[in-house]
Amino acid sequence: MIRTRADRNVAALAVGLSLILAACGGSNASPSAPAASSAASPSAEASTGGSIAPSASAYAPPAYAGPEATIEYAIWGDPTELKNQQAIVDAFHAAEPKITVKVTVSDWDTYWDKLQTGLAGGAAPDVFAMDGPLFPDYAGRDVFLDLTPYIQGEGYPLTSLNALAVKDFTTADGKQLGLPRDLNVIALFYNKDLFDKAGVPYPDDTWDWAKLIEVGKKLTIDTNKDGKIDQWGLYTETTDMENYWSSLVWQNGGDILAPDGKSIVLDQPAATGGLQHLQDLIWKDKIVPDPALFAETGDAFEQGKAAMEANGSWLVATDEAAGLKFGIAPLPKGPAGQATSVNPTGAVVSKGTKSPDAAWAFVRYLASPAAQEKIMALKASLPVNTEVLTGRFATSFDGAKVLADALGYAHLKPSFKGYNEFATALQNELDEHVFNAPDETAAEAVAKVKDQLNTILAGQ
């Protein structure tokens, strides 16, 4: 399984660590007998910003009227997130004490292994976190509870949530199989101390690719004159499209998939030009280190060995913990303008849950302003609730508004059946021959795997 941006939010935990935490919430509706509603059935278009439900200001979640219930909520995460989740369910319990939530936390790899085992054995968690790109694979297994009847029955306002994030958990036929919980975007982080030392102005929204190279060269320094670079101008992770290279493809006017999702367009010149730009930053302009240099030691920016980093909003918490004095700017524009990547995490309900009303109530609460403000406090992702996103979050720390504004020009990280197989085949080729060594041009590398990638897409 391809390791995604979730790795940056995960620290090692004991496998199967679980806590019994009080929680609550409720719904009078159920998938088999939703409350009467005149709301239209949600379509993919409606779920990304249409009028399936009344405005958030007119919505009041119904009180839970069912029996006492205990549900399991499975997530990946680290100790900080676990503490935060406890605060969320404790607040939930204070309002509705009839539902108990057992929160199970695992590291990234263990999480997916346990989830697949549980689904196969009929012992899946009632509610579990879902990564956007992996959603279609799991949706295709018919393991999710359809939340559409609840949404229609309550008039739940999907428009209160970020449209791109909602879209990632909507099927092609308009079923809402999950609600987004949080999301991440890619931006440019910069070390203020290193910029100040060099007397270089901080990055801003006027930067383009040429400016990035110009400043990156000034900040790539052999401090002790031994012929080896001690400080790099820019650092990024090349092993996942989300970290930077997909943004470069879009900034160059290209794309990864055709509009129907059945074939790639990554082989087109505009797309390979974006990939080639990253190879050139490493091997031609030499402002980004060879990925092998930090493969074992980790993030060069966090270590103070790079002046800038193109990477995800999850870095805020880790960079703060590292004691860095940093700022956040938009990614430098490409020839086709500005673009970045967005990847939501959602909460879904197992189709086999014995307490669907309680599970829905909890999922609904995770997207509420009260819970979203607690998620916001982690500084590991952006809230999906637009009231929180454009309100308190945007002013919560230096650079938060840059991250929130990035959603206006963001592209969803591709999400489709076969994503892991597709990403593994593509990324292995790019890693070995484009980024880790300039053995092939980006165009040559994509051409080698084009047929394999199209075969995967055709099997959806």
The Cβ of residue 292 has, within 10 Å, a number of other Cβ atoms equal to 10
Q: Measured between alpha carbons, how far is 11 from 211 in angstroms, rounded to an integer?
A: 35
Structure-block tokens of residue 17: 């660590």
Res 56: pLDDT: 65
pLDDT beyond 80 at 38 = no
Judge whether 458 and 262 are in contact, CB under 8 Å.
yes
pLDDT band at residue 32, thresholds of 50, 70 and 90? Answer: very low
In percent, how much of the chain has pLDDT > 70?
Answer: 87
Q: Is the dihedral of CA 425, 454, 252, 423 positive or negative?
A: negative
Q: Which of 19-33, 143-157, 201-215, 361-375 has the lowest mean pLDDT?
A: 19-33
- Helical H runs in 6-103? 44-47, 79-95
Q: Measured between alpha carbons, how far is 323 from 84 in angstroms, rounded to an integer?
A: 21
Which candidate, 343, 460, 344, places its Cα nearest to that of 413? Answer: 343
What tens digit of pLDDT does each residue of 147-186 get?
Answer: 999 999 999 999 999 999 999 999 999 999 999 999 999 9
Residue 388 one-letter amino acid = V
The structural domains of the chain, ordered by start, are 5-184+343-411 (3.40.190.10), 185-342+415-458 (3.40.190.10)
pLDDT band at residue 1, thresholds of 50, 70 and 90? Answer: very low
* Summary mean pLDDT of the chain: 88
pLDDT beyond 60 at 22 = no
**Which backbone phi and psi does 83 adopt, to 5 degrees?**
-60, -40
What is the DSSP annotation of 228-269?
S-SBBS-EE--SSTTTTHHHHHHHTT--SB-TTSSSB-TTSH
Neighbouring C-alpha atoms within 13 Å toward the C-beta of 125: 27
Q: Mean pLDDT over residues 315-319, rounded?
A: 94
**Which backbone phi and psi does 340 adopt, to 5 degrees?**
-150, 175
pLDDT band at residue 57, thresholds of 50, 70 and 90? Answer: low
